[in-house]
Amino acid sequence: MNLIFLGPPGAGKGTLAGHVSKEFSIPQISTGDIFRDAIKRETELGKKVKEIVGRGDLVPDELTVSLVRERLTQADAQKGYILDGFPRTIPQAEALDTFQKLSAVVNFEIADAQVVERLSGREICKTCGAIYHVKNMPAKVKGVCDKCGGPLYTRPDDSLASITNRLDVYRTQTEPLIAYYGKKSLLKNIDSSKSPEDTLVQIRAALRTLK
């Protein structure tokens, strides 16, 4: 099952990819997580992308595509995967088509106002990457991860300026992928304005028709 999770920042792709990954035993491959990890470890890649990611702009296509291409050759991705945050541009999608055959593209639909609300309260565990929201999905103990006890932090690109830019970038560069995959009859539209549980039910239903 080769899946793409498509949608604006804050739509819940990362949270839901975590659930679906466990349920179907396929890896969640998040380009955003790969870049953040490289930035944290101060690798060559991390140094190259730090400012771009901080602003909420896109990392150049060539770099991103070669990274994903390499990741998809690894053993755990041979029976399927969820690409979370990739592709984000038409050239990325065209490149992916040259080396992968997709099963479906799950398109997370949500209004801009709700995106801003979700991202401006988002907190992430530094240790295990679990995602929380100060109001909608708070940790049991403030600042501490329920799952592993790690410390929670706010992503530097969850500042209001960067959120607004990421939404702009999404509308201009990524949204055209909806038509791109629509033409290929791969698109599964999901209403992601409700709870993660509700969204998961919709995704299960969409994926059931694949088998």
User: Which residues does the annotation mark as catalytic?
Assistant: 13, 88, 122, 155, 166
Q: Which of 12, 18, 27, 56 binds ligand ADP (CB under 6 A)?
A: 56
**Helices and strands in the chain: count of H runs, count of E runs:** 9, 8
Cis peptide before 87 (omega within 30 of 0): yes
Q: Which is nearer to ligand ADP, 57 or 146 (CB)?
A: 57
Binding status of residue 18 toward ligand ADP by CB under 6 A = no
Nearest one of 142, 137, 110, 144 to 121, comparing CA atoms = 137
Site for ligand ADP in 58-97 (CB under 6 A): 58-59, 64, 85-88, 92
132: β partners: 123
Binding status of residue 31 toward ligand ADP by CB under 6 A = yes
Q: Which is nearer to ligand ADP, 167 or 207 (CB)?
A: 167
Q: Which is nearer to ligand ADP, 177 or 187 (CB)?
A: 177
Please give the Cα distance from 173 to 186 (Å, whole number).
Answer: 19
Please give the Cα distance from 147 to 127 (Å, whole number).
Answer: 10
Minimal distance, residue 1 CB to ligand ADP, in Å: 20
What is the torsion angle, in degrees rounded to the nearest 10, for the CA atoms of residue 92, residue 94, residue 98 and residue 104? 90
Q: Give contact residues for ligand ADP (rule: CB under 6 A).
A: 9, 31-32, 35, 52-53, 56-59, 64, 85-88, 92, 157, 166
